[in-house]
Amino acid sequence: MAAQDWVQSFKKAGWTVTGTVRYTDRQVSVESKDRASLTYCGDESKGYTKVIKTGVIEHTKVTQNSYVAYGAEVQKNDKGVWELVRIASTRGADKCKP
């Protein structure tokens, strides 16, 4: 739900995203036959906001907050499909800074 809210807020503001976000340091932990968790880092230093109507790209200064640590949990549903059940992020994560 948080991801959907984030996307909806961009859409409502008339923005989209552009550029590149690198994901690194992926680690998966299988907890059972139907549950797993993963962690990874996101480098958003080359990702930008773009105004849809004008096409103007809003370049932002690279700061500690450009590096984000993610943690997620997935679980198989009744049809055997893996679903995201929880995701959390921490901006400015030292472990994700190059």
DSSP assignments along the chain, one per residue: -HHHHHHHHHHHHTEEEEEEEEEEEEEEEEEETTEEEEEEEEEEEEEEEEETTT--EE-----GGGEEEEEEEEEE-TTS-EEEEEEEEEET-GGG--
**CA dist., res. 25 & res. 27, Å (int):** 6
Question: Is residue 82's pLDDT more than 90?
Answer: yes
Q: Architecture of 2-96 per CATH?
A: Roll (3.10)
**CA dist., res. 60 & res. 66, Å (int):** 9
Question: Is residue 1's pLDDT more than 70?
Answer: no
Give me the mean pLDDT over the 22-40 stretch. 96
Name the residue among 14, 98, 92, 6 with its Cα closest to residue 58.
14
Give me the pLDDT at residue 2, please: 64
The residues spanned by each domain of the chain are: 2-96
Give me the pLDDT at residue 80, please: 95
The overall average pLDDT reported for the chain is 92
Per residue in 41-78, pLDDT (tens digit) is: 999 999 999 999 999 999 889 999 999 999 999 999 99
